[in-house]
Amino acid sequence: MKWEKLKPPEPDDPMCCCECDIYQYGCCCDCEDLDEAFNRWLKDKPPKTGCQSPVLGAMIDNLEISMVPALVLLPLLLRVAALHILLGITILTALPGLVLWYYYATHRKKRRTVFFLTLALYSLAYMYYLFITEILPRGDVSQLQLCTITAGMFFTVGSLIHTKRGPGFVTASLFEAHSQSQEGNKGSTHLNGCVQSAVSSSSSSSAEAVVETTKEALTAKWSRCPVCKIMRPPRAGHCRTCGSCVQRLDHHCIWINSCVGQANHRSFLLTLSVFVLTSLYGISLVLYSICPRQYVVTALLYCPGVYSQSSTALCFTCAWYSSIVTGGLLYLLVVQVLNISFNVTEREAQLALRNKTGQSRLWGLVIDTGDYSRGFYQNWVEFLTMADASVSPRSGLTDLV
Tell me the DSSP string of 20-77. Answer: SS-GGGTTSGGGTTHHHHHHHHHHTPPPPTTSPPHHHHHHHHT----HHHHHHHHHHH
CB-count exposure of residue 46 (10 Å: 0-12, 13-18, 19+)? exposed
Reduced to 3 states (helix: H, G, I; strand: E, B; else coil), residue 279 is: helix
Residue 9 has pLDDT above 70, yes or no: no
CB contact at 8 A, 45 and 56: no
Task: Calculate Rg over the CA atoms of the chain.
Answer: 27
Question: Within 291-341, where are the H helices?
Answer: 296-299, 310-341
Give the angle subtended at the CA of 228 by the CAs of 222 and 256, to the nearest 5°.
Answer: 100
pLDDT in the model for residue 14? 44
pLDDT in the model for residue 41? 59
Q: How far apart are CA 232 and CA 219, in angstroms?
A: 10
pTM: 0.75
**Catalytic residue numbers, as ranges:** 253
Q: What rounded mean pLDDT belongs to the chain?
A: 77
Residue 131 has pLDDT above 70, yes or no: yes
Q: How far apart are CA 139 and CA 104, in angstroms?
A: 43
Residue type, 168: G
| Higher-scoring residue by pLDDT: 252, 7 | 252
pLDDT in the model for residue 39? 57
Question: Within 82-171, where are the H helices?
Answer: 85-108, 115-130, 143-163
The CA distances from residue 62 to 66, 111, 401, in Å, are: 12, 10, 19
Q: What percent of the chain has pLDDT over 90?
A: 40
Mean pLDDT within 266-287: 95
Reduced to 3 states (helix: H, G, I; strand: E, B; else coil), residue 259 is: strand
Residue type, 277: L
pLDDT in the model for residue 296? 84
pLDDT in the model for residue 346? 93
The CA distances from residue 198 to 187, 203, 205, 210, 215, in Å, are: 16, 6, 11, 14, 22
Mean pLDDT within 392-398: 44
Residue type, 16: C
pLDDT in the model for residue 305? 87
Residue 68 has pLDDT above 80, yes or no: no
Residue 23: pLDDT band with limits 50, 70, 90: very low
- DSSP label at residue 388: -
